[in-house]
Structure 1
Amino acid sequence: MDSGSQEMRRLAYLDALGVDTYVSREQLPGAAPTRRLAIVPPAHPVQPAGRPESTAQPATPPMPRLNADQAARSSQPDSGVGVTAVTPAASVDVPRFSLAAIEAGNWLWVEELAGMPLTTEQVQLVKSMAGALGHAEGAVESAPGQPQVQQFDWPMHSNQQLDQGEASARAAVAGFIGRKLDESGCRGLVMLGGGSAQRLPDLGFRTVKIESSAELLQRPDLKPAAWRALLTLVSAA
């Protein structure tokens, strides 16, 4: 194969790859001599070696452009053709919180945690209030045993395919607290702080709402009002 045919084949390869080829008009200083060939383009495109010439139409015809009206009409499904519409899942705000359920005396005490677990002082305060309630009820043992603390965290999993919204969170909290009340045999529920009251719907048990244990420790002047509210549990017994 002569040099002219080789150059034609090289240019055909470059053209098939979409690579533009350039030749300097004059000899560049310090560069190797440029081989200038008078190449006449063939009547038909030169096919690369080993690939038969194809006479078929392009596999993907150009997409026609649609104006706004045509696009709107084309988006409507044909009544004669079954189309399955895929609706993207709506973004739902996922509440994130933790609750502490404390079994002390004959009552279940629930408090929302502010990013930290209950301190020893908070648990001891709940134990003291439970003991005072037991004494008001005439219980022989006015000082209950060590409170049992269990934590509930929401969301309970990281699966984004499952509902983690506010309604599901309230249902999960209701199930958790309901099981604790049934299993422990507690006679009622004490909601410590406004956060826990917002998380839990009415379960049909005797319920009282007082300030959180953290607030009662920070502000002892709130304790008399909290105690009066707790006494309603005894009077309703």
Structure 2
Amino acid sequence: MNESQRLAYMDAMGVDCYVPRIQLLGALASTLCVMPIVEFVPASEVDGSAPAGIAQPDSTAAAKVAKASGAAATHALFEDDGKKNQRQAIASQQSVAEVTDELVSQTGSSKELPKFILSIVRANNVLLIDEGLPGHVNPQEYLQLLHNLLFALGAGKQTLTIDAFVWPINKNSQFDQSETAARQTLQAFLAKQVEQANIPTVILMGQTAAHYISEQPLAMAELIQHPQLAAQMIRCDSGFPLLAEPLLKKQLWQQLQPLYLTLQSTNAASKAH
């Protein structure tokens, strides 16, 4: 679509002028419309008059010339129009390509859009974000595994619920589905969960959750304070592989040792008071 077409659409809708001021949340970035190519035509060619200072040719002589070379003139005329249209088409394609390349470099739309599923497990005082469960994994067995893990860490008995975070949320191409949008949406979703339930601890399990929670790489088995979520956070391996390989529990337990020591210290301080 070029600028003339855009203005025609707005005129048909009764809109005099539209200029995007801000980018709406979840919307694609506004694109620039290509200006149509307008070729300058001298006034003498429009009204048939000759430029000042040039004598008008004799009408009889002009008629003889036209009669003698009419076919050649017609051929030259169409040839010139064809070349002009070809030049306009090439210039238009180049203009569109230049604008497209510029927009791609600014928005990163050439990158493959992310698609992923995360398991969101809510406990009484802990939020766990793990990889999306494969179809062969029994959700109840998985929740029982996480319940036992939290009890061993000293979080106490828990009531667990599981939900899924699916990206993209909306498959409409008009919505921003980039990696940046996925990260911002997930962070906003988790921040709301932490705030509403007053959850002090978040456990990231697996690679996908860690990648989209933070722009900076998160070290394994390191307890940190996440600035956006206002909660302490630790990263470890995914939980559902433990159902098939129980020997992996030892490695996961070692990764969660900083959280275990913190919870033990908190429980001891609470008992002392």
Interval containing the TM-score (normalised by the shorter chain): 0.5 to 0.7
Asked which structure has the greater CA Rg, the reply is 1
Q: TM-score, normalised by structure 2?
A: 0.51
Match of 1:133 in 2: 153
Query: Given the alignment of the two structures, is residue 172 of structure 1 paired with residue 185 of structure 2, yes or no?
Result: yes
Match of 1:45 in 2: none
Query: Given the alignment of the two structures, is residue 199 of structure 1 paired with residue 212 of structure 2, yes or no?
Result: yes
Cα shift readout 1:178-216 (whole Å, capped 9, x = no counterpart): 111111211111111222212211743322222212122
Task: Return closer, same or farther for 1:75/1:94 CA change in 2, 3 Å cut-off.
Answer: closer
Deviation at 1:225, TM superposition (A): 2.6
Q: TM-score, normalised by structure 1?
A: 0.58
* Matches of 1:105 and 1:231, distance apart in 2: 20
Query: Given the alignment of the two structures, is residue 156 of structure 1 paired with residue 174 of structure 2, yes or no?
Result: no
Match of 1:108 in 2: 127
Deviation at 1:114, TM superposition (A): 5.0
Query: Given the alignment of the two structures, is residue 93 of structure 1 paired with residue 93 of structure 2, yes or no?
Result: no
Contact 1:112 1:193 in 2 (8 A): yes
Paired residues in the alignment total: 165
Deviation at 1:162, TM superposition (A): 2.0
Paired letter, 1:161: Q
SS of 1:213 mapped into structure 2: coil
Deviation at 1:230, TM superposition (A): 2.2
Range with bigger deviation, 210-219 or 112-121: 112-121
SS of 1:99 mapped into structure 2: strand
Paired letter, 2:185: A
Paired letter, 1:230: L
Contact 2:151 2:157 in 1 (8 A): yes
* Matches of 2:167 and 2:205, distance apart in 1: 18
By percentage of residues, which structure has more helix? Answer: 2
Query: Given the alignment of the two structures, is residue 228 of structure 1 paired with residue 246 of structure 2, yes or no?
Result: no
Cα shift readout 1:85-115 (whole Å, capped 9, x = no counterpart): 9945744422111111111242111112155
Q: Gaps spanning 5+ residues in structure 1: where?
A: 1-60, 77-82, 136-141
Deviation at 1:64, TM superposition (A): 3.0
Task: Return closer, same or farther for 1:87/1:221 CA change in 2, 3 Å cut-off.
Answer: same
